[in-house]
Amino acid sequence: MDHPFDETTRQQIMQRCAAFMRTDPPAAVSPLKPAAVALVLAAADDPHEAAFLLTLRAASLRAHSSQWALPGGRCDAGETPVMAALRELREELGLSLDQADVLGTLDDYPTRSGYLITPVVMWAADSARLVPSPDEVASVHRIALADIAGEGAFDFTSIPESDRRVIRFRYRGQLIHAPTAAMIYQFREVLAGHATRVADLEQPVFAWK
């Protein structure tokens, strides 16, 4: 599946998201705080190619500073995950989308730091003028969908602290870990028509707090 940034690709991704059947999280995650992230599809650095937006969190943040992340955060009282993802996207990147731009949702991912994250897939027809919040975002990156499709884009390793596999996404010589890597990996699998589950993929110890 090629990914030019056009209406055909938007329709294809929306259809793949509609065909994806979310699985319910296990009952043990019920004490976790609800959160959401925006997996925003936008024009790549090459404007004819589709990408998704990835941020490097500001070094001044109290939690998970200087880590790679999809735009997002905790759900406020009364918010659905979709509402929270749209709000966080406006606050972090100055990008205003609405419900009509939502293509679907992926599986909830339970984190070691106490959150249950819902990834919300969105389409941004115009993302040329992003205004990142300096309090939250150090930089914004456009990751071409071709960069997550390759055989070597993801790998798995182990750590002595857990018997679960640790997933890693390789991006320009850096390693991006779960939860972000797990959600990107599931999106990659959805694009390929696979219902691959990722809730059992582990985070590195530095992300447990």
Residues facing residue 116 across a β-bridge: 34, 110
For the chain (209 residues), the mean pLDDT of every run of 10, in chain order, is 90 97 74 94 95 90 78 95 98 97 97 94 95 93 94 93 94 92 98 94 87
Task: Note the pLDDT of residue 200.
Answer: 92
pTM: 0.94
Residue 161 inside a domain? The answer is no
Task: Note the pLDDT of residue 144.
Answer: 96
Helix (H) or strand (E) holding 191: helix 180-191
Structural domain harbouring 136: 7-148
Compute the distance between CA of residue 77 and CA of residue 43 in angstroms, rounded to an integer: 33
Residue 100 inside a domain? The answer is yes
Residue 143 inside a domain? The answer is yes
Residue 63 phi/psi, 5-degree rounding, is -115, 135
Q: Which of 163, 204, 162 is nearest to 182 (CA)?
A: 204
Cα angle for residues 143, 40, 84 (degrees, 5° grid): 140
Residue identified by tokens 């390793």 is 157
Task: Note the pLDDT of residue 1.
Answer: 55
Q: How many domains does the chain have?
A: 1
Q: Which of 203, 167, 29 is nearest to 108 (CA)?
A: 29
Cβ atoms within 10 Å, residue 101? 20
Task: Note the pLDDT of residue 67.
Answer: 85
Residue 187 inside a domain? The answer is no
Residue 177 inside a domain? The answer is no
**In the numeric block, which tokens belong to residue 1?**
């599946």
Residue 188 inside a domain? The answer is no
Which residues 6+ apart lie within 8 Å of 97 measured at CB? 38, 40, 86, 89, 122, 123, 124
pLDDT tens digits, 146-190? 999 988 999 999 999 999 999 999 988 889 999 999 999 999 999
Residue 114 inside a domain? The answer is yes
CATH number of the domain enclosing 15: 3.90.79.10
- What burial letters (b/e) apply to 168-177, b meaning 16+ CB within 10 Å? bbbbeeeebb
Residue 57 inside a domain? The answer is yes
